[in-house]
Amino acid sequence: MTAYIVRRLLYAIPILIGVNLLTFMLFFVVNSPDDMARMHLGQKRVTEEAIQSWKAERGYDRPLLYNAEADGLASLTDTILFQKSVKLFVFQFGSSDDGRDIGYDISQRMWPSLAIAVPVLLIGLAFNISYALFIVFFRATYVDIGSVVLLVAMMSISGLFYIIGGQFLIGKLWHLAPISGYDQGLNAWKFLILPVIVGVVAGIGSGTRWYRTLFLEEIGRDYVRTARAKGLSERVVLFRHVLRNALIPILTGVVVVLPLLFMGSLITESFFGIPGLGSYTIDAISNQDFAIVRAMVFLGAVLYILGLILTDISYTLVDPRVRLQ
């Protein structure tokens, strides 16, 4: 397994380099360093001296990809691409265009993101699996048909509808939770109630329908017929046999998203005013802060690759027949 993990980590290096290059190219095709300077200076008639000073302070006064004025290896290293990208591989994110330490911001903002993402994942997982087992228990009945119609309808509704509807009903009409905002420490719980509820409800349609499909596939297997032939009740068959054998695909969906929980939700955090990494990324895109965008995209790629590796490792824990080579 150690050799497999090392090999997967080595495979991740060219992927991260490609992600870094693609992010760099896309960002600077849209805006040049001069455009970024004009926007951050916030002046309609900014002088050329001010632009050059802003670029020099932030390292944008170098060529983008190749420095023809430098000699030898410096022609590649003395560029914006090299200076702004190589340090990411040792998780030195540097400073944002307005001077803030990106690493410190990430360390502070990841906790509000986790405070929403973890409860949504755990509560949603428990509810969706329970509801899916309930539907499978009453399969081919009006309960099954009505539930499938409801789930498809919930899947078809935009996530923005759940956010706006939740803010109106729970926040404005019933006054059960604040519409938006955040507080530090234990006082933050009242601001997390609404986004957690919205996150769980918004995921019921797709999550429950997927688990229902998994359980229905397991119901038709030979070991289920054998268990019934032994006289086991349907409840015991579902919870002791079907659920246990469906753990591999369930575990796949859960483990792969665990590292990405740190990244937060772009839309949810923006609408509810949560100072997490999702809103941090949205603000950086709005402000054309390439340093933050580059760091968040790179971090997201690293966490996604880590999630895939953890998924492969979790296979061996659930099914002893699986061997990583």
Euclidean distance between the first and final Cα of the chain, in Å?
7
Are 77 and 134 members of one domain? no
| Residue 234 lies in domain | 102-318
pTM: 0.87
Exposure of 244 in the CB half-sphere (CA atoms within 13 A): 8
Give domain status of residue 324, yes or no: no
Are 85 and 107 members of one domain? no
CA atoms of 110 and 106, how far apart (whole Å): 6
Are 116 and 12 members of one domain? no
Are 46 and 118 members of one domain? no
Q: Long-range CB contacts (< 8 A, 24+ apart) of 178-182?
A: 179/272, 180/271, 180/272, 180/273, 181/272, 181/273, 182/112, 182/273, 182/274, 182/275
Which residues make Cβ contacts (< 8 Å) with residue 9, sequence separation at least 6? Answer: 309
Are 29 and 122 members of one domain? no
Q: Can you list the residues of the chain whose pLDDT is less than 70?
A: 43-44, 319-325
Q: For 248-293, what is each residue's pLDDT tens digit?
A: 888 878 887 887 788 878 889 999 999 999 999 999 888 878 889 8
Q: For 192-242, what is each residue's pLDDT tens digit?
A: 999 999 999 999 999 999 999 999 999 988 999 999 899 998 888 998 889
Pure H helices in 220-276: 222-229, 234-236, 243-245, 247-255, 266-272
In the beta sheet, which residues pair with residue 101? 95
Candidates 203, 224, 213; CA nearest to 139 is 213
Rounded alpha-carbon distances, angstroms, from residue 312 to 3, 207, 245, 299, 302:
13, 21, 17, 20, 16
Rounded alpha-carbon distances, angstroms, from residue 292 to 59, 94, 226:
15, 9, 57
Burial class, 49, CB count within 10 angstroms (exposed 0-12 / middle 13-18 / buried 19+): exposed
Q: What is the pLDDT of residue 321?
A: 67
Identity (one letter) of the amino acid at 276? G
Give domain status of residue 270, yes or no: yes
28 neighbors 64 (Cβ within 8 angstroms): yes
CA atoms of 72 and 75, how far apart (whole Å): 6
Are 4 and 115 members of one domain? no
Give domain status of residue 323, yes or no: no
CA atoms of 299 and 306, how far apart (whole Å): 10
